[in-house]
Amino acid sequence: MKNYLKFLVLLLCISCENDSNESIEMAQVDQATIATHIERLASDEFLGRKPFTEGEVLTVNYLKEEFEKLGLLPGNGDSFFQDVPLVEIDGTPSETMVISGKNGSFDLGVLQDFVATTNKVETEVSLENSELVFAGYGVVAPEYGWNDYEGIDWKGKTAVVLINDPGFQSGDSSLFKGNEMTYYGRWTYKYEEAARQGAAGLIIIHDTEPASYGWNVIESGWTGARLVIASDLPLLNVESWISGESAQKMFAASAMKGQDYKALARDKNFNPIPLDLNVSVSIENKIKKDVSKNVVAMIPGTDRKDEVIIYSAHWDHLGVGKAIEGDSIYNGAVDNASGTAGLLALAEAFKKGEATKRSIVFIALTGEEQGLLGSAFYAENPIFDPKKTVANINMDALDSPGKMKDLTITGYGHSEMDIYAEEAALEQGRYIIPDPEAEKGYFFRSDHFNFAKIGIPALYASGTYEGFDKSKEEIKAYNDFYRINKYHQPADGYNIETTELSGVQLDLQLFFSVGMKLANEDYFPKWYDGSEFKAARE
């Protein structure tokens, strides 16, 4: 109730502020501009836009030139680029992962049954008869009184864990956040925590529903060359996934045979369980150190130039990979040529409109597909003072089969950015809703997360639920088809005859409206009490 009252008061304040700014020209985001840039960025010419490839060179130069054509200034001193030092690890796992125990051993096949990677900058890493221990969800969360690693010396051992967190499908809204995924449910956290515990390796059990994607996404996303930021933090020798079928085989051969491992993992009193099994797998690596680039452009404000609103989108995708139906280029039209094109279309709209009091910054980020690397580097090395960064508006995978009635806010309830989005949606005859699939953890899966981690209120939203001309059922079928058949696949391409962009234009117009309001007032949106990001801002 307290936050709701704040919501109403601020909405009235914003409305009053807007009444005084009625003379500000509200330019229109051009749908033809969006189409032009998506078509170009998602073309085969750009080779799937993977960092450290010719595709990166083409992409970042294209973005720089387009920002220059619009009359934007370099956003990093006199440069449009922020160098992001990365390490490329091109790993080749052994053909098999060997699971052995008292009753014999069996092999899991690479890609079909398991994937294995590493963030260690070493030419070879391995697990040699490493003891397997089931560690539930792999969570250490003091605020929930939860520790899945307690009571075991993890040195040399490999943890086996479930994806997502204990609240998922528990039926208990007080267990973590119920069906809404916390960061503890993300694979990135699980690898980080296992390394902090001193384990040698971690195996995550794949399950389509709690992961929110199928095994095909694991195959494409955890194979071939990958990028990391060089770090002094603890690292695992091997980071791995195994299929659900392989996990069943493993548990059947273990000391837990016949037990419901999912039910055990959800018990608050869970303790790690040795499986009486060992694992062996190795990875040979080719190491390459190089520099990728974030592309940064800006429109200076007239009165308070040092206060900025940041629009962000990641320019990268998966490059050239495993051929599917004869196509090996992962063009990433939706993910994320759409958001990158949105940056350019918004920049064009701001240049057409009247000058703003605060500065507007556009950042096309590298390495999102590799683990939000470009935004993580920016968060550690911000170009603009985070305390004077008013807000971040992030765009990732903008897609709809038409104009949408809803604006679905991922991370709803964290900050007053909800209120700005609400007002802009109402102006378009739309309504806002929290993410109805919060269990999929989308809040932690795009670059706004790293801005939020350093205290910058972030808006991550798009129309995804109900169309003006299409039913909720039709929209769900559309979204499901993309997730199953196109997400992180070569099929995510651009077709000028079938791609509908009216809904994308409507979302971008809303983001423009929100940015215009923020850029012409002196208020800083706040985090709500209870948000884990509030402390960083304060």
Reported as a single tens digit per residue, the pLDDT across 213-258 is 999 999 988 888 888 998 888 999 999 999 999 999 999 999 999 9
d(CA 311, CA 521) in angstroms, rounded, equals 17
pLDDT of residue 393: 98
* Out of 324-333, 439-448, 473-482, least confident range: 439-448
d(CA 236, CA 118) in angstroms, rounded, equals 7
Q: Is 404 helix (H, G, I), strand (E, B) or coil?
A: strand
Does residue 138 come out as left (phi exceeding 0), alpha (psi in the -120 to 50 range) or beta? left
Q: What percent of the chain has pLDDT over 90?
A: 86
pTM of the model: 0.84
The pair of three-digit structure tokens given for residue 446, joined into one six-digit string: 């795009």
* Out of 168-172, 363-367, 528-532, least confident range: 528-532
pLDDT of residue 350: 98
CA atoms within 13 A on the CB side of 185: 28
Digit-coded pLDDT (tens) for 400-416: 999 999 999 999 999 99
Digit-coded pLDDT (tens) for 447-505: 999 999 999 999 999 999 999 999 999 999 999 999 999 999 999 999 998 899 999 99
User: How many other β-carbons are positioned within 10 Å of the β-carbon of residue 291?
Assistant: 13
